[in-house]
Amino acid sequence: MTFPIPTLSGPNAGPRFYLSAKSARILLALMLSTGLSQVLLADESTPRGFAWPETPSLNFYGNPGVIDMPSAEMMPDAQFASSVSSFGGITRMNLQVQALPWVSVAFRYTETQDRNLFNFGDFYDRNFDLRFRLWQEGRYRPAVAVGLQDLAGTGIYGGEYIVATKTITPEALPGQFKLSAGLGWGRLGSSGTVATLGNRPGFTPGDTGGELGVDRWFRGDVAPFAGIEWRHGRWGVKAEYSTDAYTQETQQSNVFERKSDFNFGVEYQASRQLRLGAYYLYGSEFGISAQIQMNPRHPPTPMQVPAPSPVVPRSTWAQDEALWTTAWADSNSAKLKTRDLLAQSLRQDGLLLESVTLRGTTAEARIRNTRYQSQALAVGRAARAMAQSLPPSVETFRIVPTSGGLGLSAVVV
């Protein structure tokens, strides 16, 4: 089953966009797995005029880039990105991880409708990418990166590239421009070829992949590509000259019709993590993409729980031996004062003291957790509060979390 935008007349008479039922299910699972429900919720505390973090936008392969062509940008260290893109019967589901500040790895699952390869109507392919940053962008120097696409798969999407990107912020114009240009091999060198470096083995029918295609890397036809991106606020506009001829999809199969080398697109930063895009590609197709970028260093939901208070060893503040006596346990007023001090200390950490039993060298506190999802975290906060509030002579804590008046467990510290 497909969900088409009708053409004017005939199968290739106008722009098309197809998303199969299987791709739609995978897209839904991908979005849910990355917490789309969270990234769509805007932070109400975000001040007016807030600038979204500067992270590179992704291309249709899930890599930092323009539309189909790559750029030399790198995501922030430890960044995780999931994206889906679709045009002309080709749907790509991408996972990208910035493993090191200068190295990123990607996994991709691609569905091509009506590919008619190996006696399959629709063709599915898995492939891996590697990108290396050679040097960062400077005041006058562009960033430069080298990449290997589909380096260990069947080679259907195999391509290598060297690309440079420079950011320009003109004073007379709002926003900023990012200019990218590079040289591509393999798929990225199949249109507009200017040179040939050695012989590049082609795809062999029946090849199931799984081995490094070292004999294909940076070999064969070479073609220059280029692109530009303008970003201002939440909006971005892209244009590129693509050197992917889509030979297998347009000449060996009738997946779509490629009429132009130029692609155009517009993107919108819907939230801190989510970026949406719509495109017109190769003079014949409409495309869409959704990109989600997340980083464990910058969670979508800010932590509302304050850090725990430090525990000061009693030996540093209770040096007088008289303070270590248990005589206070015989005084009801001293017990009440200790109870109130402990209740106040627990309340600061979102814990309610239901009862406390004091016996000179031991204390049992029954607590109700109103803040933490983890009971272990609540017990740890309770132990810190007891260490701060109880007399030095109390050296054994018995902590009992409760629910509905019933003790759930007992932890002895």
Same domain? 169 vs 274: yes
pLDDT digits (tens, 9 = 90+) for 152-186: 767 888 999 999 999 999 888 898 999 999 999 99
**3 domain residue, yes or no:** no
Same domain? 288 vs 320: no
Same domain? 241 vs 153: yes
- DSSP lists the bridge partners of residue 262 as 241
Same domain? 278 vs 319: no
pLDDT digits (tens, 9 = 90+) for 388-405: 888 888 889 999 999 988
Tell me the range of 142-146, 233-237, 368-372 where mean pLDDT is highest: 142-146
Same domain? 271 vs 164: yes
Mean pLDDT of 70-75: 96
- Confidence class for position 316, pLDDT limits 50, 70, 90: confident
- Confidence class for position 8, pLDDT limits 50, 70, 90: very low
Position 74 scores a pLDDT of 96
- Confidence class for position 378, pLDDT limits 50, 70, 90: very high
Same domain? 271 vs 322: no
Q: Are 80 and 106 in contact (CB under 8 A)?
A: no
Domain with 392 in it:
314-412
**Count of domains forming the chain:** 2
Last residue in a domain, options 245, 265, 294: 294
**246 domain residue, yes or no:** yes
Same domain? 255 vs 332: no
Give dist(CA 155, CA 132) in Å, integer: 20
Exposed e or buried b for every residue in 293-302, given b needs 16+ CB within 10 A? bbbeeeebee
CATH of the domain at 384: 3.30.70
Which value, in Å, is the radius of gyration of the alpha carbons in the chain?
30
pLDDT digits (tens, 9 = 90+) for 265-301: 999 999 888 999 999 999 999 999 999 999 887 766 6
